[in-house]
Amino acid sequence: METISENRCFGGVQGVYKHASDVCQCDMTFAVFLPAEAEHGPVPVLWFLSGLTCTHENAMTKAGAQAWAAQHGIALVYPDTSPRGEGVADDDAYDLGQGAGFYVNATQDPWKPHFQMWDYITDELPALLGANFALDMGSQSICGHSMGGHGALTMAMSLPGRFQSVSAFAPICHPTASDWGRKQFTAYLGADETKWAPHDATLLMREKGFQGPVLIDTGTDDQFGDLLGTQHLAEALAARRQYAHLRFQKGYDHSYFFIASFMEDHVAFHAEALYQ
């Protein structure tokens, strides 16, 4: 593991690191914020999965989570959204290829050799983090934005007991019924739609639900609202009587200004679950 940078931040350390990923077969970059408490022992972990076109850096610099994480003594992990580099497949469209991994394990060429983002986020990166940082990997929660909200919700419901809580900002809620999903799942997973269902938050909520609390914020002026399918997830939440807060925030769009406006709420929400 290579240290790219480490900076003092709200009494803790904001670091950026790079390592050779076995599952993605390329170098992967990620960021970790460690609060001051990590100097004395392992601290709880909050993952933040970013959206289309983002890297580890977008949320790290724009979401404003470090101040609130420092207040609660929680570490933040910001993975990249896809494999990258020479020899890694890509596409001219912003919503496919590098920057658009959709947190799935690709089974189709040319994506299969590198685009193994599910295994990277749920297996390889947690093992690396646990071995190299003062993190309590038995106390984790997960959050995400847009494509990352899709990833956070699907991972939380598919890995019972892994995460204490899950939240999302403007998540892609029903990708099997959206152009932000059908296109990518066809490319990465093939035309058999039965292979898509494990990566659809609405379908997972109908089938499994989540054992902990759920918080979702979406702006009423979100310019991508038609692609998100929030109404479908709302119906699934209600049908299952899932313990959840689904909030439509008046006047907010899809941007990091929206995320930063409600990040304090999300970190406090996760802190309550992590410190029960």
> Residue 199 and residue 114: Cα distance in Å, rounded?
18
> Residue 18 and residue 249: Cα distance in Å, rounded?
36
Active site (annotated) includes residue 254? yes
> Residue 64 and residue 2: Cα distance in Å, rounded?
25
Give the residue ranges of DSSP H helices in the chain: 56-62, 65-72, 117-119, 125-132, 147-158, 179-189, 201-207, 225-228, 230-240, 256-274
The tokens describing 40, both together, are 């004395």
4 neighbors 44 (Cβ within 8 angstroms): no
Which residue in 222, 232, 266, 270 is the catalytic one?
222
Neighbours of 207 (CB within 10 A): 13
Residues 6+ apart with CB under 8 A from 43: 34, 35, 37, 73, 74, 75, 134, 135, 136
Residue 89 one-letter amino acid: A
Q: How far is CA 2 from the centre of its chain?
A: 23
Which residue in 146, 165, 167, 178 is the catalytic one?
146
> Residue 106 and residue 161: Cα distance in Å, rounded?
25
Q: Active-site residue numbers?
A: 146, 222, 254
